[in-house]
Amino acid sequence: MKRKKLVGYIMTGALSVGVIGGAGMSAFAASDTTKSTTQSTTALPGEGFPQSEPKDSILDVLNQVTESKVTQQGANEVKLANNFLSTLTDEQKSTVQYEFTEENAEHWTNLPANSQNRNGVALGDLSDESIEAALKLAKASLSKQGYETLTEIIKADEFLTTDTGRTEWGSGLYYIAILGTPSENGEWMLQISGHHLAENIVFNGKEQVGATPQFTGSEPQTFELDGTTYSPIETRRDGMYSILESLTTNQLNKAKISETFRDVVVGADKDGQFPEESEGILYTDLTKDQQKLVQKAIKAWVKDADSKTANKLLKAYLSKEALAKTYIGWSGSTDYNEVGSYVRIDGPRLWLEIASQEGVAYQDDVSNDAHFHTVWRDKLMDYAGEFTE
């Protein structure tokens, strides 16, 4: 099978700058910051192949795995993880496998690959066999909704590179890493990371025990690729803003957060840095219909996890005790097309937030070019609670 080759190259070995939400962030290209590893279990975060060059499109293989009935959600992830590892060369294995430590687990980013390095190997550097095995593992580890979220975000990046000609984006620039050893007993973690995407899924043997932190985003909001229209964040966006639309003027005033934001608050490199005090309107101060909208919004994120994990988490997040301490807050604007619009749901464990940012690929001061960053965290069980104090 032939994979589409992206056109253009980015210079490596130099200082690169990623511009996110109008703020400049410098990072050395991966050829300066990475070095080969000799032991897979002692790899340092971000070690591996250069991460600032364009990679092959993976969409052909991605579409095949999506349409396949062979691998279903909830399949044996241990077996699928080891099948994936068996397709790799020794060099690739050393790049993909890490110890399951706090340092390695927390090393993820939503930035483009030329802005910051990350764990693992780019899918575009792998053979079709390895890509297929990696995506089968991802598909089994997520719900149908979750796998659709992942694949549509990847497709959004392919749209960006084909539409703009810029090569810091693309479907081949998504990375996979495995922390720990996939086995029938013992904890291990699957990490999939790329532009606007971070999945950090922890297993205890075959059982999934952690689904966060998760980062999702999309630029543009809606796009068409190969005749199909996609809106990867639409369900999340509509869930949050339907709550705001239901609030009365008094409720909106009560829910308004004093600070303004240009990005999510507890994103990459912000583990555990939740605000000391919750702000917004309490769930119990809402009408029954408004409360239903809050629950619907929560499910838009949580149901990305496999069904057993999602049900367990929803039981905790939606318990009477938890909801009595859950706040809904907003800042900036109630119009999601306006840059700086921000909404969060803040509970005893649950943390959800969505931030509307100015366009990076499309910067012409048109409000429709706003795009979204979202985060789902669990204050107690990020990384399955392994590193929670």
Q: In the prediction, which pLDDT does 74 show?
A: 64
Structure tokens at 180: 């720990």
Q: In the prediction, which pLDDT does 24 show?
A: 30
Tell me whether strands 281-282 and 228-230 are parallel, antiparallel or unpaired.
unpaired
Is residue 248 within 8 A of residue 287, CB to CB? The reply is no
Q: How far apart are CA 96 and CA 47, in angstroms?
A: 9
Task: Judge if pTM exceeds 0.95.
Answer: no
- Helix %, strand %, coil % for the chain, to 5? 35, 20, 45
Q: In the prediction, which pLDDT does 18 show?
A: 31
pLDDT block averages, 10 residues each, the chain of length 389 = 28 30 30 32 44 80 91 82 98 97 97 89 96 97 97 97 93 97 95 97 95 97 95 98 98 97 96 97 98 98 97 98 98 95 98 94 65 97 94
Closest CA to 154 of 120, 199, 189, 98: 199
Q: CA gyration radius for the chain?
A: 20
Closest CA to 16 of 7, 25, 4: 25
Q: How far apart are CA 166 and CA 163, in angstroms?
A: 8
Q: In the prediction, which pLDDT does 231 show?
A: 97
Q: Give the 3-state secondary structure of residue 144.
A: helix
254, exposed or middle or buried, with CB in 10 Å at 0-12, 13-18, 19+?
Answer: middle
Which DSSP category does 359 fall into? -
CB atoms within 10 A of CB 11: 11
